[in-house]
Each structure stands twice: as C-alpha cells, then as structure tokens.
C-alpha cells in the first residue's frame, strides 16, 4: 500500500507533529511520502531523518498558484498512490482537487481545527470552499475529537463516512525526567521552591497568550514567587505585542520568554503546571505531552482537552482569564506531593487511552478499509458488462 500525505506546510505545529509521529510508528509495510504545499520546515527535516521522502512545492502563502497545483497533480500521477491523506484546510482543498484530477483511488481529509469560523479571513474562506466540496472530494473525513467533527458538521461539512482518531503520544520521548527538570530549572535560574507555570504554543491570537498573562497578574499576589514560562514560535523578546502586554500588566521578571524549543520534553519537565489558554482548539498535543511527563494541566474546555485531563487537573471556559487564574491558584495551592500525584495519574491516563501505537493502529485499519474499498470500486468499473441479445 502506498500513501502520499499532503500538508499545507511542515513548520512546527500540532498537526505537523502528529503527522511526524504517525509516520514514525506506522507499519513499515505502508509506503509513505509527504508533499508540502509550502516548505520543508523543521518537521520535513525530521521526516527525512526517519527515511520518509519529502517534497516541497514552494507555494506562496495566500495565493492561488495554478502552476504548482498542476505540478502537484503531475506528481500524484507519477507516484500513483493508493490513497492520499491531506492535513489541514489548504491541503484538504488543494490536495483533494489535485488528487481527484490525478485519478487517485481514495482521498482522506483530516480536521485539526476546533472551530472553522476562527482564524484568518482567507483560512475561513478555504474552510467554506472545503465544506462545499466535502460532498464530492473526500471518501472519508477523520477528526481529532468529537467536538471538532460536530463543529465542522454545523459549519456545513458533509461526507458519507466520518470517524474520530485522537492524537497519540510517544512515551519513550515524553516521560518524567528528574535530570531534565534540574537542568531546565537551572537555566531558568530557579530552585525547587519556585513554582513554574508554563504556556507552550506558537504565537497566535487563538492560543490565549494575553489571557495567560492576565491570569498571571491575578495569581501573583497569592503566589509571589511563581514564574510564568512562555515558549513557542514567535514567543520571544522580539515580539513587541507580547512584551507590551507584559509591561502593561507590570509582570516584569515574573515572565520568561523562551521562544521555540527543539527539546519540548526537557522544557516541560521543568514545569510544575502546564496551561492551555486557547480560545480555539481541537486536540492540544502539548497537554498530552505534559501529562506524559507527569506534569499536571489546566486547560480551556475545547476539543479533546477535557478528555485528556479527566480528573487529574482542571478545565475552564475559554476566553475567561479570571476562571483560568482561579484554576491555576487551586493547582498551586495544593502541596508539591499532591501536584506530583495528579501528574502521575495524568500520565497513566494518557498511557491507557492515548498512546501513539493506538493512533497508528487506528490509521492503519482506516487506510486498509479505504484502499480495499478503492480496489473493489476499480474492479467493479473494469468488469465486462454482460448484455443480452435484445440489448445489442
């Protein structure tokens, strides 16, 4: 079986990391290739390191490039995959059209955004076009959470075959690591007595950075020695909007801006509490990663968040900085031992329900079902028609 994956880009992001982990643990009997509409990026390099061929088309963002769409169609005709699996809205739309044009037997779309009405205007327009074409292009649509599926059905997505496959976690990479914790906290210049609360995500309006900082302002009077660690692409001192909010709220040295990290397990191990403050979310990988490291979490009640956390942490309404602050305070008020116990319960919950092997096996089963159905359809079309003499 040959599967070509089409991604919008291969920069670090939740969907891209999920693609990387899937292909790392997928049955090697499934031949996999990846085509990025834009760039190779960090994830593309990681994919190449594990032997997955990666092709980047170099499309400019925000522009319809007919020439590169034609090239994509030609590549698919040349590679002759049994199945095309697309990731995110732009690749669903462009990759789906090119795959149908190229005569690919089966097309699978995947949804990784919690609310299709969110994001940039162009992204919403692409989602609307995808909703219209969802009746005709994909043979199957898979979502990372039931809430994500429901949101897209409300938005207008229609497909005969739908399913939910949550993201999976690699417990060999994400695990409690006392040495990593000591190293990370030494770099931050803090000791064991300091409580470190982290928000680890790229800089984006829907990721709740301002709500996190507003919550920090409320938390600090009762926990003056706490620090608030922020990391991710665009989360550094060069971000004028972010540093402006920090100055406006008078947070000063209570906030650390670390930028992107190439060692997320090490960074997360240095935290006492991980927070997801998003206003739009489907299946936040960082929550499962933190729990896998034994770090308890507070998250906004979106997508898969409540399912990941369960009773090992707290969930709050999205867009409510006061509720977020109250939840953070509750988690910081308990003893270190109680907090560690919650984290370890969270790790066990992730191991039992959200392992990378579970996700990989689910996709393998889905691929097999789709490809088998595709072959059956082709065989039916190519079967000779027996006509009676009266029909000739």
Instruction: Please write the tens of the pLDDT for every residue from 73-96.
Output: 999 999 999 999 999 999 999 999
3 state DSSP class of 381:
helix
CA–CA gap between residue 318 and residue 278 (Å, rounded): 7
Tell whether the model's pLDDT for residue 14 goes beyond 90.
no
Residue at token pair 């995500």: 201
Q: How does residue 375 score in pLDDT terms, banded at 50, 70 and 90? A: low
Phi-psi group of 189: left, alpha or beta (phi > 0 → left; psi -120 to 50 → alpha; rest → beta): left
pTM beyond cutoff 0.95: no
Q: What is the mean pLDDT of residues 55-65?
A: 82
Contacts of 121 (CB under 8 A, 6+ apart): none
pLDDT the model gives residue 189: 93
Backbone angles phi, psi at 247, to 5 degrees: -65, -45
CA–CA gap between residue 79 and residue 280 (Å, rounded): 36
Tell whether the model's pLDDT for residue 60 goes beyond 90.
no
pLDDT the model gives residue 374: 58
| pLDDT per position as a tens digit, 216-244 | 999 999 999 999 999 998 999 999 999 99
For the record, the structure tokens of 125 come out as: 């327009």
| pLDDT per position as a tens digit, 342-356 | 999 999 999 998 999
For the chain, give the percent of residues with pLDDT over 90.
76
Q: How does residue 171 score in pLDDT terms, banded at 50, 70 and 90? A: confident
pLDDT the model gives residue 390: 29
Q: How does residue 169 score in pLDDT terms, banded at 50, 70 and 90? A: confident
The domain over range 178-353 is classified in CATH as 3.40.718.10 = no
Q: How does residue 123 score in pLDDT terms, banded at 50, 70 and 90? A: confident
Q: What is 2-168+355-376's CATH topology?
A: Rossmann fold (3.40.50)
For the record, the structure tokens of 110 come out as: 């995947």
Residue at token pair 């994909």: 138
SS3 per-residue string spanning 164-220: ECCCCECCCCCCCCHHHHHHHHHHHCCCCCCCEEEEECCCCHHHCHHHHHHHHHHHC
Cβ atoms of 134 and 158 closer than 8 Å:
yes
Q: Do domains 2-168+355-376 and 178-353 have the same CATH topology?
A: yes
pLDDT the model gives residue 333: 97
pLDDT the model gives residue 62: 67
Tell whether the model's pLDDT for residue 392 goes beyond 50.
no
Which residues are 391's β-sheet partners?
A: none
For the record, the structure tokens of 364 come out as: 């393998």
Cβ atoms of 96 and 138 closer than 8 Å:
yes
Helix (H) or strand (E) holding 339: helix 336-353
CA 96 vs. chain centroid, Å, equals 20
For the record, the structure tokens of 379 come out as: 């065989």
Tell whether the model's pLDDT for residue 71 goes beyond 70.
yes
Q: What is the mean pLDDT of residues 26-45?
A: 94
Average pLDDT, the chain: 91
pLDDT the model gives residue 232: 92
The domain limits of the chain are 2-168+355-376, 178-353
Q: What is the mean pLDDT of residues 314-325?
A: 97
CA–CA gap between residue 159 and residue 153 (Å, rounded): 9
From edge to edge, which strands make up the β-sheet containing 106-111? 54-56, 31-36, 2-7, 83-87, 106-111, 140-143, 162-164
Tell whether the model's pLDDT for residue 166 goes beyond 70.
yes
CA–CA gap between residue 160 and residue 199 (Å, rounded): 38
Tell whether the model's pLDDT for residue 363 goes beyond 90.
yes
Q: ∠ CA 97-103-106 to the nearest 5 degrees?
A: 80
Between the alpha carbon of residue 121 and those of residues 110, 113, 117, 206, the distances in Å are 20, 15, 9, 14
Contacts of 71 (CB under 8 A, 6+ apart): 57
pLDDT the model gives residue 386: 40
Nearest to 130 by CA among 15, 11, 8, 282: 8
Winning range, highest mean pLDDT, from 21-30, 155-164, 169-178, 322-331:
322-331
Cβ atoms of 284 and 305 closer than 8 Å:
yes
Q: What is the mean pLDDT of residues 311-339?
A: 97
Tell whether the model's pLDDT for residue 373 goes beyond 50.
yes
């Amino acid at each position: 079986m040959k599967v070509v994956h089409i991604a919008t880009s291969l920069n670090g992001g939740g969907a891209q990391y999920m693609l990387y982990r899937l292909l790392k643990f997928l049955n090697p009997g499934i031949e996999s290739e990846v085509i990025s509409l834009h760039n190779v990026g960090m994830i593309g390099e990681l994919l190449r390191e594990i032997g997955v061929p990666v092709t980047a088309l170099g499309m400019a963002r925000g522009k319809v490039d007919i020439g590169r769409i034609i090239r994509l169609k030609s590549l698919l005709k040349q590679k002759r995959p049994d199945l095309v699996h697309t990731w995110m809205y732009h690749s669903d739309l462009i990759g789906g059209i090119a795959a149908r044009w190229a005569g690919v037997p089966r097309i699978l779309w995947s949804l990784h955004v919690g609310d299709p009405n969110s994001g940039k205007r162009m992204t919403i327009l692409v989602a609307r076009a995808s909703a219209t074409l969802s009746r005709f292009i994909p043979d199957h649509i898979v979502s990372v959470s039931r809430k994500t599926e429901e949101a897209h059905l409300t938005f207008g997505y229609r497909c005969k075959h739908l399913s939910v496959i949550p993201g999976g976690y690699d417990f060999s990479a994400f695990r409690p690591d006392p040495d990593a914790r000591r190293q990370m906290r030494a770099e931050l210049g803090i000791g064991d007595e300091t409580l470190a609360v982290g928000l680890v995500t790229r800089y984006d309006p829907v990721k709740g950075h301002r709500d996190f900082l507003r919550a920090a302002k409320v938390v600090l009077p009762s926990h003056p020695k706490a620090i608030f660690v922020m990391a991710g692409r665009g989360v550094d001192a060069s971000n004028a909007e972010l540093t402006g909010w920090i100055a406006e709220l008078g947070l000063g040295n209570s906030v650390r801006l670390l930028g992107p990290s190439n060692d997320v397990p090490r960074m997360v191990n240095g935290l006492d509490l991980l927070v997801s403050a998003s206003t739009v979310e489907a299946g936040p990988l960082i929550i499962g990663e933190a729990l896998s490291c034994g770090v308890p979490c507070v998250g906004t009640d979106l997508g898969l968040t409540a399912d990941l956390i369960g009773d090992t942490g707290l969930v709050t309404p999205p867009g409510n900085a006061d509720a977020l602050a109250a939840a953070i305070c509750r988690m910081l008020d308990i003893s270190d031992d109680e907090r560690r116990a919650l984290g370890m319960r969270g790790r066990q919950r992730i191991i039992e329900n959200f392992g990378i092997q579970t996700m990989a096996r689910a996709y393998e089963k889905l691929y097999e079902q789709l490809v088998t159905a595709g072959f059956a359809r082709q065989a039916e079309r190519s079967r000779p028609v027996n006509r009676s003499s009266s029909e000739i």
